[in-house]
């Protein structure tokens, strides 16, 4: 079999890339090792930057997002049991974020791909990448007891942090940067009305970080910081709700509507970047190349901006026979990736309690929070990073 672009992974990166390439008349196939239902069952991101919303519109899959997504004009920081609004739209000249689950975005992309009759191979086992350092790369995979081979012009490694693409790059050709945080996030999804329907609430209390978010006006998403040694089995719903309340201000705590968890899991936090993001005819995009702690809601949005740069570069190659876009792909992505890595690290450091934060360190964190909510300059810096920096910066 032959195609122009072989995409590894049917997460947001792979599906969005496939849709944008299809819109541009570029043939592509997606190889996914799991089933579609398994991919949809992963509960992850929930906040979309305007850049991501614009891309989904460009891909023709934004109808449900506009119908069901919730626009947020502000966020709130809670510390010392007091809530402080950060009026994001006023500080950024009107920019906002949209609450819309990654699961729903993935479902919209899967439905659009199926409706267009585009080839997606689910349960593709033992995917392997070949000859991407030349001009005729190939991808192999196993399905239904047979080995299949695809000849292509380019391979897009959209297969996430644990995928095969980055692992296929010769060790000497790639540099990795990593920071692992000494805590995780215990997340709960519940079919209850969000406690703060128009603002994502980030808390820093002596008991640790908390986050009040949503997926819709009838489905909430909450998180509390937990030690890495914690097991989700040790957290009953009741224990979770009690702990969440203890980390909020009294008014918000009194308004939490509890209900049975429909998903509950603990995720570790890490910062990670692999450089460069291009190896001959192989391009890495999304979590295959970088990971951020979810505090800044950047992971999914960075995947979308990588895909914007990559799809534009491939369209330019096929339409204008120019390699300028593919030659600058990695540098353009990494300039935006590292700014998001910095912001995510900064907000994680500001809003979490670290095991080794002594008296002085805690006083400095307290002072930074106090300065942030009373300084227009610092609140503006938070706001412009939160809504997403312009693509061209
Ligand atoms: P993904 O990991 O989503 O998709 C990669 C796909 O490739 C998967 O479907 C996988 O099955 C497939 N694959 C892997 N290896 C393969 C192989 N060898 N062959 C074929 N297919 C293969 N981001 C936010 O912005 N906000 C959040 O709140 C947030 N919360 C998160 C919580 C968790 C627990 C995790 C893990 C991530 C979270 N993220 C969050 C980040 C997350 O949303 C990612 O940024 C997003 O999924 C990136 O999408 P992809 O790059 O497509 O990678
Ligand atoms: C979420 O809704 O899952 C979410 C929201 C904001 C974040 C991280 C996660 O910063």
Instruction: Report helix, strand or coil for 319.
Output: helix
Q: Is the CB of 5 under 6 A from ligand 1?
A: no
How close is the Cα of 245 to the center of ligand 2, in Å? 18
Structure tokens belonging to residue 103: 């699961």
CATH number of the domain at 286, please: 3.50.50.60
Whether residue 173 sits in one domain with residue 313: yes
Nearest CA to ligand 2 atom 2: 46
Whether residue 156 sits in one domain with residue 243: no
Whether residue 363 sits in one domain with residue 263: yes
Residue 393 is predicted with a pLDDT of: 45
Residue 28 is predicted with a pLDDT of: 98
Whether residue 323 sits in one domain with residue 336: yes
How close is the Cα of 188 to the center of ligand 2, in Å? 12
Our mutation pick for probing the ligand 1 site, out of 163, 181, 308, counting the most ligand atoms within 8 A of Cβ, is 163
198: confidence class by pLDDT, cuts 50, 70, 90: confident
Nearest to 164 by CA among 44, 284, 272: 284
356: confidence class by pLDDT, cuts 50, 70, 90: confident
- Identify whether 75 is part of a domain: no
Whether residue 260 sits in one domain with residue 224: yes
Residue 149 is predicted with a pLDDT of: 98
Q: How far apart are CA 391 and CA 109, in angstroms?
A: 22
How close is the Cα of 298 to the center of ligand 2, in Å? 9
Q: Is the pLDDT of residue 146 over 70?
A: yes
Name the pairing type of β-strands 120-121 and 28-31: parallel
Whether residue 143 sits in one domain with residue 252: no
Mean pLDDT, rounded, of the chain = 97
Q: Is the pLDDT of residue 169 over 50?
A: yes
Rg of the chain (C-alpha set): 21
Q: For residue 15, which atom of ligand 1 is closest to its CA?
A: 52
Q: Where are the beta strands (DSSP E) in 73-198?
A: 74-79, 82-86, 97-99, 120-121, 125-130, 138-143, 146-151, 154-157, 175-190
Whether residue 206 sits in one domain with residue 140: no
pLDDT digits (tens, 9 = 90+) for 251-298: 999 999 999 999 999 999 999 999 999 999 999 999 999 999 999 999
Range of the domain at 329: 5-70+99-178+270-348
Whether residue 162 sits in one domain with residue 54: yes
Whether residue 239 sits in one domain with residue 167: no
Rounded mean pLDDT of 99-118? 97
Q: Which residues are catalytically annotated?
A: 72, 202, 294, 298, 386
Cα distance from N-terminal residue to C-terminal residue, the chain: 39
Rounded mean pLDDT of 348-359? 92
Q: Is the CB of 342 under 6 A from ligand 1?
A: no
Whether residue 19 sits in one domain with residue 103: yes
How close is the Cα of 44 to the center of ligand 2, in Å? 8
Structure tokens belonging to residue 180: 């692992």
How close is the Cα of 108 to the center of ligand 1, in Å? 16
Rounded mean pLDDT of 174-187? 98
Percent of the chain with pLDDT over 70: 100
Our mutation pick for probing the ligand 2 site, out of 47, 296, 352, counting the most ligand atoms within 8 A of Cβ, is 47
- Identify whether 91 is part of a domain: no
Whether residue 141 sits in one domain with residue 47: yes
Nearest to 26 by CA among 160, 137, 156: 156
Nearest CA to ligand 1 atom 23: 299
- Identify whether 78 is part of a domain: no
Our mutation pick for probing the ligand 2 site, out of 99, 219, 297, 347, counting the most ligand atoms within 8 A of Cβ, is 297
- Identify whether 81 is part of a domain: no
Number of domains in the chain: 2
Residue 357 is predicted with a pLDDT of: 80
pLDDT digits (tens, 9 = 90+) for 6-50: 999 999 999 999 999 999 999 999 999 999 999 999 989 999 999
DSSP per-residue letters across 10-33: -SHHHHHHHHHHHHTT--EEEE-S
Ligand 2 pocket at CB < 6 A: 45-47, 200, 211, 213, 221, 294-297
Q: For residue 301, which atom of ligand 1 is closest to its CA?
A: 25
- Identify whether 171 is part of a domain: yes
């Amino acid at each position: 079999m032959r195609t122009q672009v072989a995409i590894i992974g049917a997460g947001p990166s792979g599906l969005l890339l496939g849709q944008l390439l299809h819109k541009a008349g570029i043939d592509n196939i997606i190889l996914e090792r799991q089933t579609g239902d398994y991919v949809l069952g992963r509960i992850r991101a929930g906040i979309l930057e305007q850049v991501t919303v614009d891309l989904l519109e460009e891909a023709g899959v934004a109808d449900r997002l506009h119908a069901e997504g919730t626009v947020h004009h502000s966020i709130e920081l809670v510390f010392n049991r007091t809530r402080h609004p950060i009026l994001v739209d006023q500080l950024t000249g009107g920019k906002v974020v949209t609450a819309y689950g990654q699961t729903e975005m993935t479902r919209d992309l899967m439905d659009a791909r199926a409706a267009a009759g585009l080839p997606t191979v689910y349960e593709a086992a033992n995917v392997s990448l070949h000859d991407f350092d030349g001009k005729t790369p190939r991808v192999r995979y196993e399905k239904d007891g047979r080995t299949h081979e695809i000849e292509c012009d380019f391979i897009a490694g959209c297969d996430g942090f644990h995928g095969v693409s980055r692992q296929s790059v010769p060790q000497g050709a790639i540099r990795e940067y990593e920071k692992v945080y000494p805590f995780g996030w215990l997340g709960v999804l519940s079919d209850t009305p969000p406690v703060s329907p128009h603002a994502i609430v980030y808390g820093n209390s002596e008991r640790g970080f908390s986050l009040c978010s949503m997926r819709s006006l009838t489905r909430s998403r909450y998180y509390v910081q937990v030690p890495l040694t914690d097991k989700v089995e040790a957290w009953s719903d009741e224990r979770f709700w009690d702990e969440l309340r203890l980390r909020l201000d009294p008014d918000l705590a009194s308004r939490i509507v509890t209900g049975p968890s429909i998903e509950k899991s603990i995720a570790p936090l890490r910062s990670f970047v692999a450089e460069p993001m291009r190896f001959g005819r192989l391009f890495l995009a999304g979590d295959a190349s970088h990971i951020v702690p979810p505090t800044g809601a950047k992971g999914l949005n960075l995947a979308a901006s990588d895909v914007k740069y990559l799809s534009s570069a491939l369209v330019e190659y096929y339409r204008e026979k120019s390699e300028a876009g593919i030659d600058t792909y990695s540098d353009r992505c990494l300039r935006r990736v590292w700014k998001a890595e910095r912001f995510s690290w900064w907000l994680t450091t500001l809003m979490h309690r670290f095991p080794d934060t002594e008296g002085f360190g805690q006083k400095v964190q307290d002072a930074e929070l106090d300065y942030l909510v009373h300084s227009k300059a610092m609140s503006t810096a938070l706001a412009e990073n939160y809504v997403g920096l312009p693509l061209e910066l």
